[in-house]
Amino acid sequence: MGDLAVGARSGHGPDEQPGPSDDGAGQAVTGAVNLESDDMDGDGHGGGSGGGPSGGSRTGGRAPKKPRSFWKELPLLVVIALVLALVIKTFLVQAFSIPSASMENTLQIGDRVLVDKLTPWFGSEPSRGEVIVFHDPDGWLRDEPTPQPNPVQRVLGWIGLMPSTNEKDLIKRVIGVGGDTIECNGTGPLEVNGKALNEPYVFAGNTPCTDDNMGGKFKVTVPIGKLWVMGDHRQDSMDSRYHQQDRNQGFVPVDNVVGRAIVVAWPPTHWTTLPIPDTFDQPGIKAAMGAAPGALGLAGAAPLVLWRRRRLTQGNTRVSEASTAG
């Protein structure tokens, strides 16, 4: 601070008057002020312990700290990255690998999809047309081979850096939600609440419905809190149709849903989003679901209305009796 102040005043101060041209005298004055400044900055000992007239005073006698080397910080960075990956996998987004052809051509074997796990935490439930990942409801994967990952794959899958190979999860398209009536006759079309679906996502060469006696022909009403799901490869998908004899009658409990698949992330050549097809937005398809809450609300409100009318009637009767007696 002393050097800067003296330099500014001796060379460029606006109020400074030109002094004598004796350079030696000027240097002597400057040096004297510098020494005085150094004494005040330190412990009262001129020169400090750094060897130079001002070096020791400016650092307080302590050498500056050296930054940590990259190799010393690397373990901490790795731990932070792993914790973030685990948090993201648990609460936000998780990667899943497609092991079968049941969702072709929408999803290919070996594709990696990213599944949104955040919105279910806020009470959002799956909608018609969404592609969802869900836990096995009742032994749907009982006869499927289970991969044997190595220890590294297990750890990376648990953290979320790789798709998990241990979880018993499936991926299908939601066709019906609670209150919907779904019907398949012959080879189709598939109907939801009496509306025929135009399904361009169905595997080329497949029919929307399967004309067989094992579950391909059906008419079901989805209970509240359940889902009816089907694969896009209709003739190669063991979905709700073929599990109508299990404890859930082929329906998937909403609580089993992991999340909605929102994008195909790998390989890059297959990258695409997974929007809800327009066929599920046609007028009238949501009529059944819209009527169900209204009917439930009306049924719940009826006793309250009757109770209130009875109270009012009794009150009017008492008032009338009191008036007559008076």
Query: Is residue 102 annotated as a catalytic residue, yes or no?
Result: yes
From the list 54, 57, 97, 102, the catalytic residue is 102
- The answer to whether 187 and 207 have CB atoms below 8 angstroms apart is yes
Query: Is residue 217 annotated as a catalytic residue, yes or no?
Result: no
From the list 117, 172, 226, 286, the catalytic residue is 172
Closest Cα to residue 199, out of 223, 230, 228?
A: 230
Q: Of the ranges 3-17, 63-77, 92-106, 154-168, which is most confident?
A: 92-106
Contacts of residue 235, defined as CB under 8 A and 6 or more positions apart, other chains included, come to 203, 206, 207, 210
CA distances from 250 to 49, 172, 292 (A): 84, 13, 21
In this prediction the pTM is 0.63
Please give the Cα distance from 285 to 193 (Å, whole number). 6
| pLDDT score, position 79 | 78
Could you write out the DSSP letters of every residue in 117-161?
A: -SGGGGT----TT-EEEEE-SSSTTTTSPPP---HHHHHHHHHTS
Closest Cα to residue 230, out of 254, 255, 196, 201?
A: 201
311 — pLDDT class (breaks 50, 70, 90): low
Q: Name the DSSP class of 91.
A: I
Helix, strand, coil percentages for the chain (3-state, nearest 5): 40, 15, 45
Angle between helices 70-87 and 151-159 (to 10 degrees): 70
- Mean pLDDT for 256-279 is 95
Please give the Cα distance from 250 to 19 (Å, whole number). 101
- Mean pLDDT for 50-57 is 45
| Model confidence at 124: pLDDT above 50 | yes
| pLDDT score, position 114 | 93
- The answer to whether 285 and 193 have CB atoms below 8 angstroms apart is yes
* Residue 259: how many other CB atoms lie within 10 Å: 23
